[in-house]
Amino acid sequence: MNIKSIVLVAFAMSVIQCSQKEETPLATLYVGTYTDTESEGIYKLQFDTANGKIVSNNLAAEITSPSFLAISKDKDFLYAVQETNDFEEGAGAVTTFSIENDSLKKLQTVSSKGAHPCHISISPTGNKVAVSNYTGGNASVYDVSADGILTGPSAIINHNQIDTTKTAHTHMAQWLNGKIYIADLGLDAVLGYEMNATGEATPSSVLELPEGAGPRHFTGAHSGKFLYVINELNSSISVFEKDATGKFKTIQNESTLAADFKGESFCADIHLSADGKFLYGSNRGENTIVIFSVDQQTGRLSLVDRESVHGNWPRNFTIDPTGKYLLVANQKSNNITVFKRDVEKGTLTFLHEEAVSKPVCLVFL
């Protein structure tokens, strides 16, 4: 081979290598935390989707206890709750950030209109944001302007007067099938509401859970026919199916714990894989991720496995954009653990961990 040929081969190989690098870009991961110890707010991690490694970890925004985050569909804005009760008149707060080259720029902070906001979500159309106030027992719904700014709230959905024998603890509000559903841990129910053009909320349905279940988070199957609710207090997942009249009915309740587990454990988060074939849930106490397969016709669950989180007190977790990895925020052990996900079997294999003080919420950009 002559010198010219060698140069051409070397150039071709460099082009191929560059192309390969472009096909496996770094993914930005924002981490919400509790700031009562060492954490200072929201952290930005760079995650290599080629090998599952976290390659950088930096403070993105200084803010008090941003325990839940949500990113707008256009990826221009990030919304964070401040899980406190001392912002304004005994309420917590919501902060809006613009995302500029992966960096966060604070735009505003408003009252959540209830104590200890613990969840925030964005409507499918992007023009509404819902905040769940755990201790406040209510959910506030804000309008979103084109520049990401929150106005209102246009509605405050109050659960405190629904049941005088129980204490309302709204834990998650999310839009599904054109309605907004709110999981209330204290009322053992998921309540559905119709929202009119002016933002008023009208009760439309009640999904009752077993006494003492404590519904925390939920997710809907892509068809909209099935709803999966993870219950914090009795460590279970309840499956609901929509009937011919459009109402959800319970079809299954499954424990998230091993039969021989002894001790206290409390569920936290729940997610479906992108293909809808596997459902994952986190157990605080047993310190595992439980894995179920999902029957695509009936929606019913079958246990696949459970995997140690290699940490203590797993809160939220997330599946990366490629679907090949699952990452867990372990609040009490101050680490984020990374797992390789078998996309065919749903199982998890531990890879490594990253130190972060009191991580709670993980959101990929």
**Token match 């499956």: residue?**
239
CATH class of 63-194: mainly beta
pLDDT < 70 positions in the chain: 1-24
Give the integer Cα–Cα distance in Å for 329 and 1: 54
Q: What is the pLDDT of residue 18?
A: 47
Q: Which residues contact 110 (CB under 8 A, 6 or more apart)?
A: 93, 94, 142, 150
Q: Which residues pair with 27 in a beta bridge?
A: 47
Locate all alpha helices (DSSP H) within the chain, ordered by sequence: 3-23
pLDDT of residue 200: 84
Q: What is the pTM of this model?
A: 0.92
Pairing of strands 138-144, 359-364: unpaired
**In the prediction, which pLDDT does 224 show?**
87
Domain layout of the chain by residue ranges: 63-194
- The reported pLDDT for the residue numbered 177 is 84
- As a whole number of angstroms, the distance between CA 159 and CA 121 comes to 18
Provide the pLDDT for residue 9: 46
Q: What is the DSSP string of 17-44?
A: HHHHHHHS-EEEEEEEE--SSS--EEEE
Instruction: Give the Cα separation of 244 and 246 in Å (integer).
Output: 6
| Sole residue written with tokens 């925030």 | 120
User: Quick one: pLDDT at residue 3?
Assistant: 52
Q: What's the pLDDT score for residue 264?
A: 97
Question: pLDDT tens digit string along 300-359?
Answer: 999 999 999 999 999 999 999 999 999 999 999 999 999 999 999 999 999 999 999 999
Residue whose pair of structure tokens reads 């209830």 in the numeric block: 114
Residue-wise pLDDT for 256-290, tens only, equals 999 999 999 999 999 999 999 999 999 999 999 99
Q: Report the C-alpha gap between 267 and 364 in whole angstroms.
A: 22
73: part of which helix (H) or strand (E)? none
Predicted pLDDT at 19: 44
